[in-house]
Every structure is written in structure tokens, then in C-alpha cells.
Amino acid sequence: MSRVASIDIGTFTMRLAVADVQGGRVVSLGKQSAIVNLGQDVDATGMLALEAMQRAFLCARTYAQAAKEAGAEALCCTLTSAARDAGNSDEIMAALASLGINPQVIPGEIEGALTFLGVAQDFPGTPILVADNGGGSTELALGKLDGRALDLRWVRSVNVGCRRVTDRFFSDGGPVSSETLDAAHAFVGSELGAALATMPKDLVPQRLVVCGGTATSLVAMASELDPYDPGFVHLHTLTRSEIAGIEAKLAALPVSERGTLPGLQEKRAPVILGGTVCVSELLHTTGFDVAQASESDLLFGLSIACAAAAEGTESPVIWKPVISRLVREG
């Protein structure tokens, strides 16, 4: 059994997982997450803001120390949409390297494949369509997991996410008009629809599984969870009508009041409406009336790939992270 740590630096959220992996499966996994908003203004400027990089650096330093204290043998670190889009990503990469971390900016297709690997652990042998709705992009993946063999038929990365949609349509922070909401839906629906038109027809997904902070927040809001309960949220269903009801409630409120809604993390309030539009359009464009939310996401797939790299074995995903070997505390 290998104990490994994975850091996922997303557009809005930054997360750490410390996982025990045995036989290519995650046996146990503990997570930490923080909202660092690395993608602040990236859609408008094409550059990472200095203060955003500073937040990510400080968080990474804390996470690297936590990984050592937890007894992880190896650590991998990936950056996704914001770092892919920004013209100055080399600056955050250099800062992370100074901590002894080997960061990698991964393509959207690899992000989608790793997320699918993580999600599919809960659906062995079942054809599924996985949608990872993040801050700057949404990764779509179709396939199934047969034992340890990953049958991944199709992966696409689409440039719609909670941060990007917020910056384009909901940046003033006030209540949103029906016209603006319709425009946001049209934009997201068009982008998702174009990607889904390329999905192969020879494997029909039986379930739509959505992961990411928006999806899990929507489950928590629909059930008014306080405090948040990941065991309740994991594999819980979301219907179109539930999402529509939450969207209408959010659109009628300014950001300052959205953060008081039961089940919503206050720091996620500024981008939750943008994310809700994305998840709503995911169901509409795929034709599903119900989606399942998953807590087994990119971090699970990263953990499996990191353990394979540490052990020198083959990963189900044709991608190998650059790992940092850690010295155990004590």
C-alpha cells in the first residue's frame, strides 16, 4: 500500500488529498480545500493576478507540510484551467518549485481522464458520462471501468465554468435580470452542445455524474445541509427542477445575501450562480433529467496515478505525474 498526496490547483478552489492506494484503488482518502481564486480576472486579462498567485503559494506551502505530517511518501501537483489560459503561469510554477513541489499544468483532456478514473470507481462496469464543472472549464468524459481496465471512449474540455461565467455575465454582484440569465444559458448551452455533438454513439451512458464545488453545493443547498456532510452529498441526486428552483432563488438575490443561504459556503457565493447555470445546461444539453453528484473526483484519479508513479507501475490513464519524494516527519 502506498500513501500519496495530491494537490489540485483549480481556477477557484485549491485542494489537497492524502490517500492510501492499494492495487490501483483508493482505500482511504482525506481532503482539505481552500478557495484561493487563482483565476481572478484571468478571463479578462489573460494573466494571473499577483495576489492570486500569492494566495496559491501560501496554500501550497501549508499543504506540502500537511502531506509530510500525514506520512505521505510522494506528492504530485497539477494546475488546470486558469494556469492553462494565463500568459504568466511560469511565475506560479517557479514559486511552487521553490517549495520542493514539481507542478504540472495538465491539458483539459488529461484532467477529464483523471476525473473519470476517480468517479468511475463507484460505477464498475457501468457506462457513465462524467462532467467536472470547475471554475474555468468543464471536462466531459464518456466510458466505463471494467476491473482495473479503463475503457475511456471520449474526453472533451469546454471553456465554461463558474468563475468564467460569473466574470462574463454576473460580475456586478447584484440581482440578475431574466435577459442576462438567458444570455448566460445560451452561451453555456452553445459551448456544451458543440462539444457533445462530437460524442460517439456506440456507448450510451446510463448515468450523468457531476463533480466539482458547484454540484456538491447544489446538493447541500437543496437539502439545506448545515454542517456540510460529504457522506450525504456523495452520489446524491439532483433533478432539473431542484436546480431551476435554486437558480431562481440565487438570481433574485445580491451576492451579499446569497452567502446566507443554508448549505452554501459563503466564499462560494460570488460564483455559485454561474456554476448553477453550467450544471443546469449540463442536464439540458445531455438530455438527463437527473444527475448524481460525486465527491470522488480528480483527486481520486490523481492519487491512483501518483501511487503508480511512486511504485513504478502502470497507471490506467496514459499520463505520468512528476512526483516529489517526501521525507516522513519523525
Average pLDDT on 241-260 reads 96
164 and 68 within one domain: no
Mean of all residue pLDDT scores within the chain? 94
What is the three-state SS of 75-97? Answer: EEEEECHHHHHCCCHHHHHHHHH
Average pLDDT on 154-165 reads 95
103: containing domain: 2-107+299-325
DSSP string, 144-179: EEETTEEEEEEEEEES--HHHHHHHH-TT-S---HH
pLDDT score of 327: 67
Whether residue 114 is contained in a domain is answered as no
Residue whose cell numbers read 433529467:
289
268 and 192 within one domain: yes
Average pLDDT on 169-185 reads 96
pLDDT band, very low/low/confident/very high, at 47 (cuts 50, 70, 90): very high
Average pLDDT on 284-302 reads 95
Whether residue 200 is contained in a domain is answered as yes
Measured from the Cβ of residue 168, the count of other Cβ atoms closer than 10 Å reads 16
183 and 282 within one domain: yes
Interaxial angle between packed helices 89-97 and 50-69, expressed in degrees from 0 to 180 and rounded to the nearest 10: 30
Residue 81 has pLDDT above 60, yes or no: yes
pLDDT score of 1: 84
Dihedral, CA of residue 46, residue 52, residue 56 and residue 59, to nearest 10: -160
Query: Residue 23 has what DSSP assignment?
Result: T
pLDDT score of 24: 84
Reported as a single tens digit per residue, the pLDDT across 222-235 is 999 989 999 999 99
Q: Report the distance separating Cα 82 and Cα 91, nearest Å.
A: 13
Average pLDDT on 286-315 reads 94
pTM of the model: 0.90
pLDDT score of 310: 93
